[in-house]
Structure 1
Amino acid sequence: MQLGDCVLKPRKSSHSVFSVHLHLVFVTHYRRKVLTKEMIVRLGEMLEQVAKKLDCFILEFNGEPDHVHILLDLHPKNAISTVVACLKSSTARMLKKEFPQEVKKYYWGKVSFWSGSYYVASTGGATIEKLKEYIKNQEGGK
């Protein structure tokens, strides 16, 4: 499922030009298969809303009953851990509110919706080897 405007060109702020793309994976608590197709669609909308408030963009999103994958265009004013915390806490709260019956089948009391851990990897168009080669071949380089 593709969401939002695809921001693949570098973006600009007052003092920087940046292109920071991250692959994030969030897993449900205890890896319970709680996410329905309807919840995944709504979750994509929620993620877009929260990301926009952080000057970030969701480039791609999809999921399965026990985890979701997010391709995020990150604004460097944000710490990755802060963005992850905002995305997870906001969506957990909204999913519990909008899908109480589905969530209560798996979680009750103060059990969190998402696992405390997450996966993150930087992504880009060039491999590490290509970047090393490019930097090495700059004038004055080794």
Structure 2
Amino acid sequence: MPNTYTQIHLQLVFAVKHRTAVINPGWKYDLYNYITGIIQNHKHKLLAINGVPDHIHILIGMRPTQSLSDLMQDIKQSSSKWINEQQLTVGRFAWQEGYGAFSYGKSLLPAVINYIENQEEHHQTRTFLEEYRRFLNVFGIEYDEQYLFKPLE
């Protein structure tokens, strides 16, 4: 019987609403574990997850059994609900609308994993918006500045 074989590696990038720096080092790994569970429950493979207080990067091996938009909706909706139920932030937590998704061939995965694992170091010299614009430019994605992630408030 024929089967479906794929190799889809995506880096997902998304930010806290208004890019407020509320992801606390004291509970960020619990959040990452929660998001990992969502990804694995959908039968995708988590390769790396890390971030800084205002945004997250995730690298996955994605199965073609679910749309990317459905996966992102589940990750953002479920993790927001979990953060709020756990009362981990002052006030209501929410992710900002939108996300970035960037594809990679297998040979680039070690470099992408290293990049994600060292987010704290990267953001000592580059802001989130500088990083995000760089991704868009490197991948040749046209964008309108007014529709990028909202500025810090």
TM-score of the pair, normalised by structure 2: 0.65
Aligned-CA RMSD value: 1.7
Q: Does 1:123 align with 2:109?
A: no
Q: What's 1:62 paired with?
A: 50
Tell me, yes or no, if the aligned pair for 2:39 and 2:46 is still in contact at 8 Å: yes
Which residue of the other structure, out of 57, 75, 89, is the alignment partner of 1:103? 89
Letter in 1 for 2:96: S
Q: What's 1:32 paired with?
A: 20
Deviation at residue 53 of structure 1 after TM alignment: 1.4
Where does structure 1 differ by over 6 angstroms across 4 or more consecutive aligned residues? Answer: none
* Structure 2 alignment gaps of length 5 or more: 109-153
In the comparison of the two structures, how many residue pairs are matched? 107
Tell me, yes or no, if the aligned pair for 2:9 and 2:106 is still in contact at 8 Å: no
Deviation at residue 124 of structure 1 after TM alignment: 1.1
Aligned partners of 2:44 and 2:15: how far apart in 1?
Answer: 21
Q: Which has the greater radius of gyration?
A: 1
Aligned partners of 1:117 and 1:48: how far apart in 2?
Answer: 20
Name the CA shift for 1:39/1:26 in 2 (closer, same or farther; >3 Å). Answer: farther
Deviation at residue 39 of structure 1 after TM alignment: 2.4
More strand by share: 1
